[in-house]
Structure 1
């Protein structure tokens, strides 16, 4: 595989060794420091003026993993800005635009898009332009040549923020692309500091040193994986479940939920071949519910079937140092790297090709085959 974003001196490992995907997971600490080290003055000014408006609505949008990015960061943005912030997938907006776009509400549409070439990406921004009287766009993308970036590059009501070129992942699954866009959003709109980025980068370097342990966890041959997290960590649980489903080409079953929600029916999925991963909140109140479900699951399944990821010391937990003072939207970035490695090593253990787990093309890196139907004249302004 040729990668124009990676120096030619860096050889791509064989698929059984992780392919480009293992490089893209491992580059995240370095990439995050690069993201935090650069600053777009126009974006900062553009957003400062907008977020000063008390009537502003912020919509975080994308498809698949890019939609889940919005679910993860929304709580931090909501608290920091004191504004109405909602995560709504492009797939929902395109299918039912009048259920989600409000003509009379000034709106900042934040689009997450690795390539910007998914059919729904540009369609969502066009629908917002068509329906909402006052709308502005923040485009977070990894591909300067993508359709979304090119569409919004020269508009005065838009800012396009490009991630470092190497984050335009060549592997099938979004890894460094996703976390870089989330990080940029938190830096711009969520109150994250450069010191926070350094803490996250060091925590991930700790995870990178744990790769052999994560690989051993992947060799247990569980048939079902359940991911649990509350608040912004529920979006993380959803993304983690998707990552494993993608990289194993659907060979394992995955579920996600909140610790409280899991008891209301989904808990029926548990059996002797289930591995549960619990992402522990840094919020003292929320963490009580995490600890309750951990104790319950360990009693039912045994400690070996419950993997706990925490920013604070807990018995039999994977503890990531230096993150206890960060909010859940921030620590989710580091937690996600653990989940990415687990998905990758599970894929390899099952004989998949992680850079292309669907060699017959049943599922594509960039979605194909979607027809965008125009809005009827009767709903236009």
Structure 2
């Protein structure tokens, strides 16, 4: 696959991030093989739980891992036909009695790149402490992380390990995010996702071929915007949140990034707009939901300078008003459910963040060399909870 940086020089300050963005299609194929090989043990663990009408499913993680849960929640609630909630570990740990107020059988699905973040470990322990019956599905990229080690071999836990290459060495979560999200869809979502990883992989490979990245991402970054807004509806709101975080992280907070739903943006957050703002709208593949995405695109294109509003879409020909460069395509993904669509769509945001970081003379592999923000969070004091 063509390197996603196009003609930009790549030195030691970006090598990990560049590689980890580029490797994703290959890792997604590997994720599909891993889940298929684990299918029998996963089903033995999950089927008895899913047969219970009172089971609560909680998706948890911190930062990017929390956004994986937000993205997945609508799709999994629909597929499983039951109560599914996305609760960040940072919220669960600070208010465990509030988030675990109902003592019902619970499946806690933990997303963790390293598995060593204090909140990730504490969240599972608090669930064990406060709930009479809790089961754990740990989806992690690090076999040696504490979360994986703590839950290995426990009868009420299953650890689903991602490909080794997904444990990103760069500062920002890229391949770890997409691999864990895809693995959860395959593990919990059922046969509807069979063959989808290959479609996602081919789509991204086609995006990064030739001059497509220069024409889309490169042109946007070359405008030198001072603000960027990501909008999405349903599962794609979680994608918008992750996209904004990538830009903030890799530019060291120097590029203001905002995320909202396509409809919610009008209710206050629209105040962020000025003539140096660019907007990326993720268009839903759901015909009903996508109408709201198109509405905000039409509205914003009427008030912002030409070329300031981009639609990321798998629907050929839709979203273009000022020319084809207003539409960033996701080839071959028409009809793919939005939660899966997001796995490919986020690559555009990763590339924006990478290029904006390099354009600012920063080092994407470590945009905070003085250590004020760390790859694995530090400085957290965990307090004991008295029953």
Does the pair score TM above 0.5?
yes
1:5 is matched with none
2:213 is matched with 211
How many Å apart are 1:211 and its aligned residue?
Answer: 2.5
- 1:329 equivalent among 329, 334, 339: 339
Once residues 211 and 317 of structure 1 are traced to their aligned partners in structure 2, the CA distance between those partners, rounded to angstroms, is 12
- 1:370 equivalent among 358, 374, 380: 380
Are residue 27 (structure 1) and residue 23 (structure 2) matched?
yes
Are residue 279 (structure 1) and residue 282 (structure 2) matched?
yes
Runs of at least 4 residues of structure 1 off by over 4 A? Answer: none
1:340 is matched with 350
How many Å apart are 1:102 and its aligned residue?
Answer: 3.5
How many Å apart are 1:234 and its aligned residue?
Answer: 0.4
TM-score by length of 2: 0.92
Change in CA separation of 1:103 and 1:297 when aligned onto 2, cut-off 3 Å = closer
1:101 is matched with 100
- Partner of 2:90, secondary structure, is helix
- Partner of 1:281, secondary structure, is coil
Q: Is the 8 A contact 1:103 1:133 kept in 2?
A: no
Q: Deviations over 1:104-158 (max 9, x none)?
A: 2110000000000001011000000000111000000000000100000020000
Once residues 34 and 247 of structure 1 are traced to their aligned partners in structure 2, the CA distance between those partners, rounded to angstroms, is 27
Q: Is the 8 A contact 2:275 2:305 kept in 1?
A: no
1:55 is matched with 54
Once residues 162 and 193 of structure 1 are traced to their aligned partners in structure 2, the CA distance between those partners, rounded to angstroms, is 19
- 2:11 equivalent among 10, 14, 24: 14
Q: Is the 8 A contact 1:141 1:160 kept in 2?
A: yes
Once residues 105 and 193 of structure 2 are traced to their aligned partners in structure 1, the CA distance between those partners, rounded to angstroms, is 27
Once residues 26 and 44 of structure 1 are traced to their aligned partners in structure 2, the CA distance between those partners, rounded to angstroms, is 32
Once residues 160 and 28 of structure 1 are traced to their aligned partners in structure 2, the CA distance between those partners, rounded to angstroms, is 21
- Partner of 1:300, secondary structure, is coil
Once residues 45 and 307 of structure 1 are traced to their aligned partners in structure 2, the CA distance between those partners, rounded to angstroms, is 45
How many Å apart are 1:361 and its aligned residue?
Answer: 0.3
Are residue 37 (structure 1) and residue 33 (structure 2) matched?
yes
- Partner of 2:155, secondary structure, is coil
2:194 is matched with 194
1:130 is matched with 129
- 1:229 equivalent among 204, 213, 232: 232
How many Å apart are 1:15 and its aligned residue?
Answer: 4.2
CA RMSD of aligned residues (A): 1.3
2:6 is matched with none
**How many residues are treated as equivalent by the alignment?**
365
Once residues 34 and 211 of structure 1 are traced to their aligned partners in structure 2, the CA distance between those partners, rounded to angstroms, is 25
How many Å apart are 1:362 and its aligned residue?
Answer: 0.6
Structure 2: gaps spanning 5 or more residues: 1-8, 321-325
Once residues 306 and 50 of structure 2 are traced to their aligned partners in structure 1, the CA distance between those partners, rounded to angstroms, is 46
Q: Deviations over 1:198-247 (max 9, x none)?
A: 11111111222233232232121111000000111000000000000000
Q: Is the 8 A contact 1:228 1:277 kept in 2?
A: yes
How many Å apart are 1:323 and its aligned residue?
Answer: 1.2
Q: Deviations over 1:343-380 (max 9, x none)?
A: 1011111111000000000100000010110101xx3x
Are residue 156 (structure 1) and residue 155 (structure 2) matched?
yes
Once residues 189 and 224 of structure 2 are traced to their aligned partners in structure 1, the CA distance between those partners, rounded to angstroms, is 39
- 2:364 equivalent among 344, 354, 357: 354
User: Please, which moves more after superposition, 129-138 or 48-57?
Assistant: 48-57
Q: Is the 8 A contact 1:207 1:337 kept in 2?
A: no
How many Å apart are 1:321 and its aligned residue?
Answer: 1.6
Once residues 175 and 365 of structure 2 are traced to their aligned partners in structure 1, the CA distance between those partners, rounded to angstroms, is 14
2:296 is matched with 293
Once residues 261 and 216 of structure 1 are traced to their aligned partners in structure 2, the CA distance between those partners, rounded to angstroms, is 28
2:307 is matched with 304
Q: Deviations over 1:24-45 (max 9, x none)?
A: 0011110000110222131232
Once residues 102 and 253 of structure 2 are traced to their aligned partners in structure 1, the CA distance between those partners, rounded to angstroms, is 40
